[in-house]
Structure formats: C-alpha cells, structure tokens
Chain A
C-alpha cells in the first residue's frame, strides 16, 4: 500500500505528465504534417480560413445543437465538459499541490462551486452512459474504448469528491486517495493516444473536415476504382 502510494504520488505522476506533454507534441506535429499534406493534394485550395475559425468558436458553445434531436444529451455533455475543465484546473487542493511542486499558483474556485460542478459533471456522465447503453444507434457504434474512458472519468470524479469530503468517505482515506491519483493519472496518460485527444486537437478538427471537401472533383470514383468496386452504388 505504501509502495503503491509512493509510486502514485512520485514517479507515476511524473510519467503521466511526461507522456501527456510529449504525446501532445507528437499529436500536434502529426496533425500539422497531415494538414499540410492534405492541403497540397487538395483540388481546390481556396480555404475559407476566417469562416472556419468562427465556426470552430461557435461549436465550443453548442447553442445551435439545442434545437436538435438529442437535447438532453447535448446539455449533459456540455455540463460534463465544463466540470471536466474547471474542477481539475481550479480546485484549491490541486493548486496548492502545484504550488508546492513548481511554485506556480492561480485563483481557485470556491469549495462549494467545485462541489457543485463535480456533482453536475457526474450527473452529465451518468446521462452520457445511459444514452450509450439505451440508444440503439449509439450502442451499436460504441466500442470498449468508449466505456473504459467513461468509467475512468467516473472513478476520478467520485474518488475526488470523497477525498475532498473525508467525513462521507466509506473507504479508508488513503485507499480513496490512491484511486483518485491512479484514475486521474491514467486519464492523462491515455489522453494523447485515444479519442480523448480531441482535447488537444479541437482547434484543428474543423480544418480537417473542411479540407475533406476540397479534394479533387471525382476523387470518390477514384477510390472506388482502387477498391475494385467501380460502378457499385455508395
């Protein structure tokens, strides 16, 4: 137990941040290279950069999606993302640890707000999970990765809540703390290599999408020829 605790607080934490930073650099590098390559082979090189930028910003606040079919899901997802961003970065305890470690500090969320956001994010996670399980199309498209990442986020939030409220904690404090550390570190480690890397790549998704519309006219036919399925309906 002590060894596990030592590893989770020392080397494993270090590893998590090293993987996150290096993995992010790698992912950005690859993406930039791919974008440049796609731009070069694009048939129509007039890309509406400004419009794309505005659109990207617009998607960060998904107000338009509220008129869509999956309103509850949209709201849950947005709430979860707000919690996921604010709580880890602006929790007083986390900031205190960072200050201890590297001397940096920034203003923290009030404890009550952090609690509220945590519970909201957990509720959001629950809705997302239910949606995945109940909606036919979503269940069909879900992979093991999707469930694993959801579970990881739930563990991180639940254990984090109990670490901050030891009075309600059903388990030994150190064990709960260990769960929190390990789940959070695991999220950081898989972040650059799984679908979570949308956290790193969200500014570029619109560019990739847009470039897709600028390929050579009739490119689809060429693909079909290459696959040996010319003439077949799509």
Chain B
C-alpha cells in the first residue's frame, strides 16, 4: 500500500452518476436502501449507510463528499478511547470494539463526516475508511469509488503526486478552475483534495469560516498541556492556605492562653 494515499476529485468532470456511491456500498457491505432519513439528518445525503455521496449544486455541478482523512484529524484527537485511529499509512479508521459511543467525533469533525446508526441498539460510528482493509491486504490497488468512476473525475495516488496533478490542471486551464486546491492547507491539510469551478466552502460546517490552516487538535492541546501543573498547583495552593490559616489560629489560641495564664493570677 502506498504512503499517504490521497483522492483528488475534479468537480468539473463529475456527471453525478453515483457509481462511486454504489461501489462504496458494495465493497463495505452497506444496504442498498438504507434506513429512511431521520428528522435532522445531514442535508448532504451522507448517512451511516452511505459513506460517500454526490451533492448536486446549481448548473449541473456535482460534488462528491466523503471523509477527508485529515493529516491531523480532529476526530482522532477527540476520541477519549482511541477508537478512531490515524493509520501510519494515512487513512483514518474506526474500531468498534473500543468505541463507547460518545459521539464526540461527530461534533469534532469540521466537515460533519462521522455518522451514527441511530436505528440500532448496538450502534457504530460510520464513515469512509478509504477502503483501508482491502488496500492494505492488496486485494485492490485503488479505493472502490475511484475504480467505479466512469469519467476519472476522482483519481487516486500519493498525496504529493495528486497535489502536483491538481496544480498542473489549474495551470493548464486557468480560466476553467478557481485557483485553489481544497484540502491542501485547511486544518493542516487533508488527504482528499478537490479542484473545482465553484467554491467548495460549503463542504465544511458554517462555510468553513472558522477554519484556518492550523490543525484543530492544537486548539484543545493548548488547554490540556498545562493540566498536570494546574493539578499539582491547585493542591499546593489549597494545602498552603490550609496550613497558614491553621497556624495563625493556633498562634492566636496560644496567645490567648498565655494572656489568660498571665492575667489569671493577677485576677485572684
């Protein structure tokens, strides 16, 4: 399996046939017709039974949405038990036997990718895993969605190559594309890249307005790093306050006793 596997999707080439969705469902054993949508289902069409989807935008633009496999994934950093893992090769995968179902990953993901099996009493978090098990065992050399694409709108390779290819296309037809590779730098870079002739900011929550090139996990790490010092510091402060007050009280009591013993005989 190659290092840093990466998918590049060229939105201008997609015809929205959803062959990628069908292939994804097949290789992952997902039901063809999943559970009907709940109120509040994500509007993009992703669900626990649909790990990639094609979003239709005005004027026949089709944008495939899937897990971005961030270089520094927020979902992996927030998972308290490490059920979501960033593999050494790159794809972000999920281990149900560890998960406890807190769904923090679903909130932490800026793209709203992890979805939940709400209809199950034994549910898992589900999302695209970049066909990691099959790629790893060498059963396939490309993710199923890439193989299925009839127009090569979505292609697969090492991240550096894909980035080069994207930039080559942007340069070759500058009037056709918006001069940006989505996923190159946002939240520290992702392993699913897009080039397009429309803005793809809508893929992230709130139009990605709050996202910077800084990886999201650094936001929490800044607060978590000093935790051990805070812990010990608080103990030290509380302990010394107790000691000081206790000592002062003792001294005052002694003084009072001395005064009493001094005054005592005189009083008699």
A/B touching: CB–CB < 8 A: no
Interface of A with B (CB < 8 Å)?
Answer: none
Interface of B with A (CB < 8 Å)?
Answer: none
